[in-house]
């Protein structure tokens, strides 16, 4: 029995039986919000899939019909110190680096909300396919912080600095059509067809020479991310410093008490 089969997960469902593997964040009751356990288990899952060596494509999805990943788990973040926030951000960045270095393309299947950390984890994927119902955004400033898992860096590289500024400064939540128009997502498909469309794309990729696809991915990431280290370090430090502010403490405490009242995380 291989490592991927032996490993059990608290927050993930793994199907790695064929060349197209599927990793599902399984916290539908929490809208698949990211906490330390999810980050660590995603890191372990992608490490195991790479070690197993049979996956040619990996689909990353969220359980349920409402959210891919609705954001980070604010209840878990609210009491973090700057040092703890820095550690949390570094774990998220390590996951992103692992996904970028994986020798197989990763396709995000976004069926609903992908906000904050949800947009960031989607941006860690090589391709993003979204339902027409999907919504994206980096509304962290409404909670007194900034994106901490690569959002300021990857979003700017994906849609341009100007659009990234608007989305991050204003905390806008956008629909799938607008995300497609600005280049944030690669495809928008009818909601009922999302799973089949993603499967068809993944199977098409999996038919190609895996070494060539792996080399193509490596070169594309290398070209895109030449000065990435310095930019990411700036983000980590800025994210951590936000946790020394009253804005962060007040906004996150308010969210924990009344999560439905914070409209920036669910749209209008």
- Written as six digits, the tokens of 128 are 């993003």
CA pair distance 262, 143, nearest whole angstrom: 9
Catalytic residue among 132, 140, 178, 235: 140
CA pair distance 232, 250, nearest whole angstrom: 26
Q: Is 140 considered catalytic here?
A: yes
Catalytic residue among 120, 132, 193, 224: 120
- Written as six digits, the tokens of 48 are 């195991």
Q: Is 109 considered catalytic here?
A: no
CA pair distance 262, 173, nearest whole angstrom: 12
- Written as six digits, the tokens of 124 are 């860690």
Please give the positions annotated as active site: 120, 140
């Amino acid at each position: 029995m291989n490592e991927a089969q032996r490993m059990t997960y608290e927050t993930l469902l793994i199907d790695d039986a064929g060349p197209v593997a599927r990793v599902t964040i399984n916290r539908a009751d929490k809208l698949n919000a990211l906490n330390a356990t999810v980050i660590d288990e995603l890191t372990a899952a992608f490490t195991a899939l790479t070690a197993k060596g049979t996956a040619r494509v990996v689909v990353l999805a969220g359980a349920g019909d409402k959210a891919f990943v609705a954001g980070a788990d604010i209840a878990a973040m609210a009491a973090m110190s700057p040092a703890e926030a820095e550690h949390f951000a570094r774990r998220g960045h390590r996951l992103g680096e692992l996904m970028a270095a994986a020798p197989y393309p990763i396709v995000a299947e976004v069926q609903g909300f992908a906000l904050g950390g949800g947009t960031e984890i989607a941006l860690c994927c090589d391709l993003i396919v979204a339902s027409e119902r999907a919504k994206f955004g980096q509304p962290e400033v409404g909670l007194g912080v900034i994106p901490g898992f690569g959002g300021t860096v990857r979003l700017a590289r994906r849609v341009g600095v100007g659009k990234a500024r608007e989305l991050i400064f204003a905390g806008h939540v956008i629909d799938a059509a607008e995300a497609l128009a600005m280049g944030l997502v690669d495809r928008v498909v009818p909601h009922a067809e999302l799973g089949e469309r993603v499967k068809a794309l993944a199977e098409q990729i999996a038919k190609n020479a895996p070494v060539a696809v792996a080399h193509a991915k490596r070169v594309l990431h290398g070209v895109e991310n030449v000065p990435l280290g310095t930019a990411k370090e700036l983000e980590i430090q800025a994210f951590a410093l936000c946790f020394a502010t009253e804005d962060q403490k007040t906004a996150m405490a308010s969210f924990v008490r009344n999560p439905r009242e914070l409209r920036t995380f669910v749209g209008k």
